[in-house]
Structures are given as C-alpha cells and as structure tokens.
Structure 1
Amino acid sequence: MSDTINHALFGWYPYFCLTIFLLGSLIRFDREQYTWKTGSSQLLRRRQLRWGSNLFHVGILVIFGGHFVGLLTPIWVFDALGVSHSFKQGLAITAGGIAGVACFIGIALLAHRRLFDARIRNTSAPGDIAILLLLWVQLTLGLSTIFVSLGHMDGHEMVKFMNWAQGILTLQPAAAAYVADVNPIFKAHLLL
C-alpha cells in the first residue's frame, strides 16, 4: 500500500469518521432526539432474545472496555506497573477471545431471530438489519485477528496499534505510519 493511501485511510479517515459521528449525533439529538431507537420485538418472540441480548451486550461491553484501556493507556503506564507487552497481548487475546465468542454467539442468536422469524422480520427496519450485519462483519474481522496475533506473541504489533490510536487521539500527523506494515486483516478491522 502506498504511503499516500495509507495516510488517507489511517491518518485522515479516522478524523472524518469521528467528525461525522459527533456532528451527526449532535444534529440528530437537536432535531429528532426521540427517534434514537429500534423497534422492540420482545413481545413477538422472547425465546432467543434473552440469551442473545445478554451475550451480545456483555461481550460488546467487555470488548469496548478492553479496546479503550488497551489502546489508549500510555505504554509507560504498563511499563511502570511491570506489565510486559507479551503478557498484555496474551491477556488481550484471552479476554478478547472469550468476550468476542460470547458476543458472536449473542449476535448470531439475535440475527437468526430477526432474519428468520417472519413476524420480527416484517417489523424490522432495513437499518436494523444493516447495523446487525455490520456489527457481525466487524466482530468476525476482530475474531480473525486473534489467529494472526498468535503468530507474534511478543506484543510488538500491539504496541504499533497503541501508538497509532494514541497518535490519532493526540492529533499527531504521522500516526498512520505506525500501522503501515501490519497484516491486512488488522487494517480491514480498523477501517470498518
């Protein structure tokens, strides 16, 4: 991948996405704040909802917390606490893998319920299904990175992602260079 494309995708694109997210959220809150919802299908069929919803939400919260702490905590904090990069990577693979599988099972139950129950599908908006499928693809990409990460347990790649995320957060113009040579599966996960 050329430096220009890498810089556009991993240097500019994150700011574009954050800007759209923040402005879109503010405008939507200002103009249509009571429309932030998805239609409830709980009364139509509860069978898979409880397990699917609980597994999905617990899994996604653990994944979000792990990404937040793992990527945005400065490296010197882990070094000061005596946490090696290889231990942190092993912890991320284990905890993230367990949470990812729980989330995957949950989203599979929810998708099956929404797509294959005629009553629920008829009451679903296209956006509900699109978001569910987008989350499923992102989760699948994230789980796929585990197999690549097992090939380099020294934590070197993880440090690149930490530097990239912290560089984006602190507005460093060369942050995209940190992920220039990482595996394409990681890049796909970052872009989605």
Structure 2
Amino acid sequence: MSHVHTFLFGIYPYIALAVFLFGSLVRFEREQYTWKSDSLQVLHRGNLRLGNILFHIGVLGLFFGHLVGLLTPVALWDALGISHSFKQAFAMTAGGIMGAIALVGLLILLARRGSSDRLAFVKKPGDRLLMPWILITLLLGLATIFESAGHMDGHMMVQLMTWAQSVFTLRGLSGAEAIIHAPLLFKAHLLMGMTLFLIFPFTRLVHVWSGFASVAYLGRAWQLVRPR
C-alpha cells in the first residue's frame, strides 16, 4: 500500500472531518451573520424555486442514502437476509434517481446564475468553487453506477462500507487497505466527497447545520438581506 493511498484514504478523512466540525464551530462563534444560504432571489428569480427544490430533494436523498448504506454494519444486512447483490442493485437504482434529480436541479441553478450579470457580479469566491465542485462530485457518483454494473456481486460495495465504517471507528489505516484495489473512479468520487466536508465551513453550506438545529435557530437575531 503506497504512502499516498494511505494518506488520502487513511489520514485525509480525519483532516476533512476535523476541519468540518471545528471550522463550523468557529464560523458559528465568530461570524454568525454570515451563517446563511446567501439567497439572491431578490436580485433575480429565474427558475430558483424549481432548481432549489429538485437540488435539495436529490442531495438529501443522496446524503441519507450514503449514511445508511455505508455505515450500517454488513452483519446487520446479513442478519436481515439482504444479499450484497440486492443491496448493490437497490443502491444503484436509488442513487441514480436521487443523483439525477440533484443534477437537474443543480444545472438549473447554474444556468440561472449564468444568465444574470447581477448574480455574476455578487457571486462570492466560495460559490465559484462550491457549485462546480458539487457538480463534478455528482457526475463522478453517477458514473460509478455504470462501473458497478459490471460487477453485481456486491463485493465493491462491501469494500466501501468497510472503509467508511473503519474511518468512523477510528481504524482509518485498515480502512484504506480495504479499498486499495478499488477502481480509480470510486476513489476520485470519495476524494471529492471528503473535500466537500473540508470546504464546508468556508461556504454557504454551513446553513445545513441549521436544518438539524432549527428550533434553536429560530431564536437568533434578524439578518439584513440587503444593506441599507
């Protein structure tokens, strides 16, 4: 196992998670009035509603699908009598549907932003990085479906589950070894996904936390949408 592979899949996940957690905490503590989705609907409506709904439905479906699919112990699936091949087929189908919905929504949002000079003028550096990054991550994820179609025995999925569960049980080095022979496409998707957690605290994505703490969020002070 090369040192680069060990770093990227055994050590880098912890760097990304540390920045994700502590960076979000610092952002909330020091810059609460930047803790928002930065909606620019007041400047240009376009197809914001349609794109926004589709994107969020798809992304939430992908997030919870990955969460359950990767972190549920293999022994539990076996105990329930769910074969690895069936789980893979289900994951490919559900992931493909949710990924396609998210992709359509994201393309609508990107087209909206590209069609307005006003939106392009106020676009922040974080947005210039974030949306293309999400787009590439989505495309790589959808591409893995076609890669997976060539081996429906579920073996690759078990390897990915072993890696993810090893990371969350602080056994990242052994997890890196589990996916050493994974196709490059899967590794690229994993790296892009992990890096999303790394850049999370520095972008508008921080508003996602508010969805998990909406009750406390209601008590915060008002925000100015536009300066006077």
| TM-score bracket, shorter-length normalisation | over 0.9
How far is 1:115 from its partner? Answer: 2.0
Provide the C-alpha distance between the structure 2 equivalents of 1:38 and 1:127, rounded to a whole number of angstroms. Answer: 12
Cα deviation for residue 73 of structure 1 reads 0.3
The answer for the alignment partner of 2:88 in structure 1 is 89
| Alignment of 1:178 onto 2:178 | yes
Q: Deviations over 1:121-164 (max 9, x none)?
A: 22221212321111111111111111101111110000000000
Distance 2:5 2:141 in 1: 20
CA distance in 2, matches of 1:129, 1:37: 17
Q: Which residue of 1 aligns with 2:143?
A: 144
Equivalent pair of 1:7/1:176 in contact (CA under 8 Å): yes
| Residue range with higher mean Cα deviation, 169-178 or 59-68 | 169-178
Q: Give the drift of 1:68.
A: 0.2
Q: Is residue 68 from structure 1 mapped to residue 59 from structure 2 by the alignment?
A: no
Runs of 4+ that moved beyond 6 A: none
Is the 1:107–1:136 Cα contact (8 Å) retained in structure 2? yes
Residue 71 (structure 2) pairs with residue 44 (structure 1): no
Aligned to 2:221: none
How far 1:53 sits from its partner (Å)? 0.4
1:50 is paired with a residue whose SS is: helix
Runs of 5+ unmatched residues, structure 1: none
1:116 Cα shift? Answer: 2.4
Secondary structure, counterpart of 1:174 in structure 2: helix
For residues 87-146 of structure 1, the C-alpha deviation after alignment (integer angstroms, 9 at most, x for no partner) is 100000001001000000000000111122112222221212321111111111111111
Could you tell me how far 1:45 is from its partner in structure 2? 2.9
What root-mean-square deviation, in Å, do the aligned CA atoms of Structure 1 and Structure 2 show? 1.1
Residue correspondence of structure 1 range 1-192 to structure 2 within 5 A: 2-172=1-171, 173-192=173-192
TM (normalized to structure 1)? 0.95
C-alpha distance in 1, partners of 2:33/2:81? 47
Question: Which range is displaced more, 51-60 or 107-116?
Answer: 107-116
Question: Is the contact between residue 100 and residue 143 of structure 1 (CA under 8 Å) also seen in structure 2?
Answer: yes
Equivalent AA in structure 1 for residue 82 of structure 2 = V
- Give CA-to-partner distance per residue, 1:9-59, whole Å, 9 cap, x none: 100000111111111111111111221224322123333111100110000
Task: Classify the secondary structure of the residue corresponding to 2:31.
Answer: helix
